[in-house]
Amino acid sequence: MKKLLWYFVAGIMLFGACGRKDSQENKLPRAAIREYVEHFLNRYPEATLQDIYKGSFQDYFGPAHIVNDRERAKQSILREIAAADTFGGVCYEPCGWRGQYYRVNLSMVKDSLVTIDTLVDAFVESAQGEPVFSDEWIEEWIAIQQIVREVAPSLQGFAEDSVRIVRLLDSNNYVMHHSRRFDERYCPHYRIVRRDVFEQKIMPNDCGK
């Protein structure tokens, strides 16, 4: 998508220009997206638009990389668990409104609710390849952002995050980290697992979603 068009889109997002909704937004279940956004912000009131983008991206694309070395992935998880003082958030939750992927809190391994090998196997199986980007994802994010704006019009940093996300997408660099505020407040430590793999290997070990 051309830069000028993206900055035009950013203007719509930031200043509330009205107009015909794009075709992708019309196809999306606005009620489901709105329910997810409200739930996420109720659970994480310090979250930003950047954090909603991250979860939506994870839910659309999954882990967004290939895991070629299982042992290296396992050691990375073990090091993160050993270094963490706090494991914020719930044991597991959908990444976004689709629920195609779940965030699995590393506390489940620390608390012996799931073995390290079970989580590693689930994570590796879920990380099947690099994401293939398309206009559909861009259009979906535009629709999600519009709903975020309706749900939380005073969300802190919304304007700045919106512009940064537009610039990110315009540069074909689609992946974002959590905001610093989210990291500091909630101390997230998790891995992404595809829903069917999650249901088969992890969900029976329920620790109170």
Full pLDDT tens readout for the chain, 209 residues = 544 445 445 555 544 444 444 445 568 899 999 999 999 999 999 999 999 999 999 999 888 666 778 898 999 999 999 999 999 989 999 999 999 999 999 999 999 999 999 999 999 999 866 666 778 888 899 999 999 999 999 999 999 999 999 988 888 778 889 999 999 999 999 999 999 999 999 986 556 55
Dist. CA 201–CA 114, nearest whole Å: 9
pTM of the model: 0.85
Collapse the DSSP code of 22 into the 3-class scheme (helix H, G, I; strand E, B; otherwise coil) and give the result. coil
What is the 3-class SS of 51-119, one letter each residue?
HHHHHHHHHHHCCCCECCCHHHHHHHHHHHHHHCCCCCCCCEEECCCCCCEEEEECHHHHCCCCCHHHH
pLDDT at residue 173, rounded to an integer: 78
b/e for 88-108, b at 16 or more Cβ within 10 A?
A: bbebbbbbbbbebbbbbbbbb
Dist. CA 190–CA 186, nearest whole Å: 12
pLDDT at residue 143, rounded to an integer: 93
The residues, any chain, with a CB within 8 Å of residue 134's CB and separated by 6 or more, are none
pLDDT at residue 169, rounded to an integer: 87
User: Where along the chain do its domains lie?
Assistant: 3-201
pLDDT at residue 195, rounded to an integer: 95
Dist. CA 150–CA 130, nearest whole Å: 32
pLDDT at residue 18, rounded to an integer: 44
Q: Which two tokens stand for residue 20?
A: 């015909």
